[in-house]
Amino acid sequence: MTRFYPSILILVLIATGVGTTSGRGLRHNPSALAQGLIGPGGLDQPHLNSVQLLFRGQPVDQVISGKKIKKYSLDVTGTGFVAGSTVVVNSIRAYPTTIGAPQQPVSTGFESATTLTASFLPGPPPPPGLFLVKIVNPGGVESDPATIDIISKPSELSITSISPESGPIGTEVTVTGTGFTAAGSPLQTAIRFSADGSNSRFFEGFYNNHILGSDRLSLVVPDRVILPICPGSLIACDPIAIPAVSPQQYRIWVINPNGMSNGVLFRVTSKSVP
């Protein structure tokens, strides 16, 4: 079997200027690593404060795969924008895992040194996964990226509820929704499990084959997650890290052959002391 080493994927993403964070809510905020820095050649480095996703001019939380991409747009705020700054959007597929991050064509509008707009151009709808948004100034100086979820059509894969909504490591959680059809291999279905607001560069979580039906599955809150998970990959995917799960707010998604569901919140609590 061919082995897939995530370090190779890291190099591919770095070469294309791609990294990921996990956006939450209507505004998707990258880390502040670039704030106040000076780029190569003494050029000011742009910094992203927030990215507002719009559908037909109205704020939305995520892109739904299958809807006409040209109806989506972005309002971007930050610092260090200049005439000639461009918004660059790449996409990462959730299932099956592939190497590379194709660029999604957009047109950029310069409003001011702190505001840009971007309109998605007509084209094929992106697959469920992530949009990675960054700003590139003339000379190639880039901002750090923000991330927007691309989810499957709710009729194909979605989460409607989880029970319970909080609990310590080891808690069994029942997830109710649509599209949880069992896949042939245990590595075909995964739970994306990330701390709310996480800046993880890849999908992290764990594989899960406890399918109770097309509308229900169960999972056990783990003490560690796998980074990255590569559901549906035709090549082996070795983890680069196994981050520990700690008491805080997490977000849960289902990834399977139907794509990636919407994310729902789950709070990991401390174990009670007898």
9-24 per-position pLDDT tens digit: 443 443 444 443 333 3
Dist CA 210 CA 164 (whole Å): 17
Tallying the residues shown for the chain, one arrives at 274
Q: Which residue has the higher pLDDT, 1 or 43?
A: 43
Q: Which CATH architecture has domain 158-268?
A: Sandwich (2.60)
Q: What is the mean pLDDT of residues 199-213?
A: 85
244, 197 contact by CB (below 8 A): no
Over the stretch 215-233, which tens digit does the pLDDT of each residue have?
Answer: 999 999 999 999 999 998 8
Is domain 3-150 classified as CATH 3.40.50.410? no
Please tell me the predicted confidence (pLDDT) of residue 23: 38
Q: How confident is the model at residue 238 (pLDDT cuts 50, 70, 90)?
A: confident
Q: Which residue has the higher pLDDT, 184 or 157?
A: 157
Q: Which residue has the higher pLDDT, 225 or 234?
A: 225
Please tell me the predicted confidence (pLDDT) of residue 236: 67
Q: What is the mean pLDDT of residues 194-204?
A: 82
Q: What is the mean pLDDT of residues 60-70?
A: 93
**pLDDT above 70: percentage of residues in the chain:** 79
Residue 90 scores a pLDDT above 90: yes
Please tell me the predicted confidence (pLDDT) of residue 273: 55
Please tell me the predicted confidence (pLDDT) of residue 233: 84
Please tell me the predicted confidence (pLDDT) of residue 28: 59
- Domain residue ranges of the chain, discontinuous segments joined by +: 3-150, 158-268
Please tell me the predicted confidence (pLDDT) of residue 200: 64
pTM metric for this prediction: 0.83
Asked whether this chain's domains 3-150 and 158-268 adopt the same fold, the reply is: yes
Please tell me the predicted confidence (pLDDT) of residue 271: 85
